[in-house]
Homo-oligomer: A and B are copies of this chain.
Amino acid sequence: MNLPRVYGMSSSGNCYKVRLLLEQLQTKYEWIELDVRTGVTRQPEFLGKNPNGRVPALEYEPGRYLAESDAILVYLAEGSAFWPQQRLERAKVLQWMFFEQYSHEPYIAVARFICTMLPAQDARRVELPRLHERGYQALAVMERHLAPVRFFVGDAYSIADIALYAYTHAAADGGFDLQRFPAVRAWIARVESQPRFLPMPAAP
């Protein structure tokens, strides 16, 4: 039997999401490490796996691929406790995953990228004030939602929590201060106490 194979960069939050779920599902997999800084994901061989040139990509059977971290999470989680059985709860999980990709990751992950992967005097640092403004807006939405609940959807740990945990817990890497978000910090601790939790590797 062929194991599912993940093409990813270990320190990327989007790739880590997939690894964390696979570990928590106790699914065996192969991990192919790619360093996006070398440009390898923009070369023809990888574009044949994901024409959008991004990691992670899941090779779910030999020569067949699925891209987009949150779509991969749904695919892997179907039939497990990490993907709700009720239609409305599934839609709420997706709501928070689309929130993550549209209103959260483009600010919190990009600030982390600029602060940890680019030289200290890189021109892109001028983007940081706007990234912080928008990222703090996303954190405020999360804080308000999490204040009365334990997890994002239906009082149970799901792939919505995995998707949002990845970059939120590492927000300080991009210059965010989580001290003012006590409900977010309590939720981070709950995620980290889940069975088979695996920490994300530090940025290189």
**Chain A interface residues toward B at CB < 8 A:** 51-52, 60, 66-72, 74-75, 78, 87-88, 90-92, 94-95, 97-99, 101-103, 105-106, 141, 144-145
Contact = CB atoms under 8 A, between A and B. Distances in A.
B145 A68 contact: no
Contact of A98 (B51, B60, B71, B91): B71
B51 A144 contact: yes
Q: How many copies does the complex hold?
A: 2
Contacts of A141: 51-52
B52 A71 contact: no
A6 to B, nearest CB: 14
Nearest to A58: B91
Contact of A102 (B72, B95, B101): B101
Nearest to A106: B106
